[in-house]
Structure 1
Amino acid sequence: MKCALVTGGSRGIGRAVCIRLAQQGYYVLINYKGNEEAAAATLAAVQEAGSAGEVLGFDVANKEQVETVLGGWIERNEDKILEVLVNNAGIKDDVLLMWMKDEQWNNVLNTNLGGFFFVTRLVVNSMLRRRYGRIINVVSLSGLKGMPGQTNYSAAKGGIIAATKALAQEVGKRNITVNAVAPGFIKTDMTAEIDENQFKALIPANRFGTPEEVAHAVGFLATPEASYITGHVLSVNGGLYT
C-alpha cells in the first residue's frame, strides 16, 4: 500500500493536502500536535475522498516523539510503503527582532526547521532503500523575500529552501525528488487576522489564495510524472513575488 505522510495535517493547507493526496489514491498519515479533533475531521474528509488513513500525534520538533511514534509506525507497517512526505507543520510568532525573545526565536526555528530535519531524516532512509520517494516542503513567501516582523519565520523557511536544494542533490540518483512549495497569502488560520481588502491590491491576482490551490501544486509534485523536477521552489502567490 502506498502511503503519504503530511505533517501538520489537521487544518488549513495541511488538511487540503491530505484530501488531495487521498484523491490521488494514497493512504494518508495525518500528523497533528495537539488538536486531535481537527485531525479526526481531516481523516473523515480523507475517507470521503475515497481513500483511507490514520492520525499520528507527535510534535515534529521533539526528536524522541518523532522516533517513537513515526519510527514505531514504520517498523510495525512493513506492508505500507511511505512514498510521499509533505513537511507542512509550522508555527509563526511575529515580532520585530529588537523585541524578539529567545523562546520566540527558538520555538519557530525548532518547529519549522528542526521538524523538517527530524522527520525527513527518518523517512528518507526508507525511500533510499526502495529507490523511490517524493519529499515536498511547504515553505513561504517569507522564506524567499523576507518579511518585516518575521525574522525568525523567514530564517526558518529560508533554511528549509536551502536544505531542499541540498537534499535534492544527495538523493536524486535514487529516484527521489525534493521540492518546495512557497505559498503567499492563503486563507487559513495563520492569516485570519489579516485584512484581505487591505492587502489584495498588492497581489496581481487581486485576491488571497486557497488551501486547495496550494494542495494542487503539492499533488502535482507528488506524482511519478514530476520525476524530472527536483530542487525547485514553486511559488503559489498570485504573482506577488516572482
Structure 2
Amino acid sequence: MRRACNWAAEPERPRGLGAVIARRLAADGLAVAVNYRSDRAGAEKVVAEIQAEGGAAEAFAGDVTDEGQTADLVARAATRLGPSEVLVVNATGPQPPVAVEELTWQDHLDQLLFFVKSPTLLVQAVLPGMSAYIAAKAAQHAMTQTWARELGPYGITVNVVAPGWIPVERHAGVDEADYLAEVPLGRMGTPADVAATVSFLASDGGAFVTGQRVTVNGGHA
C-alpha cells in the first residue's frame, strides 16, 4: 500500500479541504497520516471516516510551524505507516481582516509561518525517506519551481494547487452570490474538486507534471 502524508496545520483540526483530500487519497489506496495541532477528536473523526470506508489512516499530533515538532511527527508517521510518498501541505492559520493602516510586520510573519515556513519544514523532514512524489501547496510559485528543478532528478514532483473560494465550514452564512456571478462554470467549487486535483497530481497519471500552479476555480478571474 502506498503512503501519503496529509499534514494539516489548521488552527484546531483537519477539516474542510484537508479532510476531503485525506479521504480522497485514502480512497485512492494510500495510507494517510492526518496531522492535527490540538483537536485530537476532530482528527480521529477524519481517520474513523476513512477506516469506515476500508481505507488506512492514523492521526498524529504536532505543530508543523515548529521545526522540532515537525521532524518528530514525520518520524512517528514513518514508523507507523512507512516512508512518505506524497506530501500535501494544507497549513492554514487565522486570517483576520486587517486594515492597511493597522497592518504590522507581525501580521505578515504570522502568515509566513503557515505558507512558507511550514511547507519548508515539511519538505525537509519527509525528503530523506521519499521515493515518489511531493504535492506541495506553497505560498509562492517561484519556490515551487525552484524545488521542482532541484528535486526533479530524484523523481520527485512539486506542484501548487491553488483553489478559488471553496466554501467550507468556516464560511457558513457567507453570501456566495457576488463571487458565483463571476465563475464562468456557473457553480461554486467544492472540496471534492480540489481533492480530485490533488489525487491526480499524486497519482502515476500526474508523474510528469511538476513546477506548476494548478488553479481550481471554475475559471474565476
Find the counterpart in structure 1 of residue 41 from structure 2. Answer: 37
Distance 2:100 2:149 in 1: 33
Report the Cα offset of residue 189 of structure 1.
3.3
Q: Please give the per-residue CA displacement for 1:37-86, whole angstroms capped at 9, x wherever unaligned.
A: 21111101111232111111111111111122223443x35x71311100
2:63 to 42, 59, 67: 59
Report the Cα offset of residue 94 of structure 1.
2.9
Structure 1 unmatched ranges of 5 or more: 140-156
1:121 to 117, 121, 124: 124
Identity %: 31
1:5 and 2:34 matched: no
1:194 to 174, 179, 182: 174
Q: 1:163 to 1:49 in 2, by over 3 A?
A: farther
Relative to the length of structure 1, the TM-score reads 0.83
Structure 2 unmatched ranges of 5 or more: none
Q: 1:193 to 1:95 in 2, by over 3 A?
A: farther
Distance 2:145 2:194 in 1: 20
Q: Which moved more, 1:21-30 or 1:223-232?
A: 223-232
Find the counterpart in structure 2 of residue 82 from structure 1. Answer: 84
Find the counterpart in structure 2 of residue 22 from structure 1. Answer: 26
Report the Cα offset of residue 207 of structure 1.
2.6
Distance 1:15 1:24 in 2: 14
Aligned pairs, number: 216
In structure 1, the residue corresponding to 2:85 is in which secondary structure?
Answer: strand
In structure 2, the residue corresponding to 1:168 is in which secondary structure?
Answer: helix
Find the counterpart in structure 1 of residue 103 from structure 2. Answer: 100
Q: Which moved more, 1:171-180 or 1:100-109?
A: 100-109
The within-5 A match list for 1:186-225 is: 186-192=166-172, 194-225=174-205
In structure 2, the residue corresponding to 1:134 is in which secondary structure?
Answer: coil
Distance 1:97 1:136 in 2: 33
Contact 1:180 1:233 in 2 (8 A): yes
Structure 1 runs (4+) greater than 3 angstroms displaced: 189-194
Contact 1:46 1:53 in 2 (8 A): yes
Q: Which moved more, 1:104-113 or 1:227-236?
A: 104-113
Find the counterpart in structure 2 of residue 151 from structure 1. Answer: none
Distance 1:23 1:17 in 2: 10
* RMSD between superposed Cα atoms in Å: 1.8
Q: Which moved more, 1:24-33 or 1:184-193?
A: 184-193
Q: Which moved more, 1:27-36 or 1:95-104?
A: 95-104
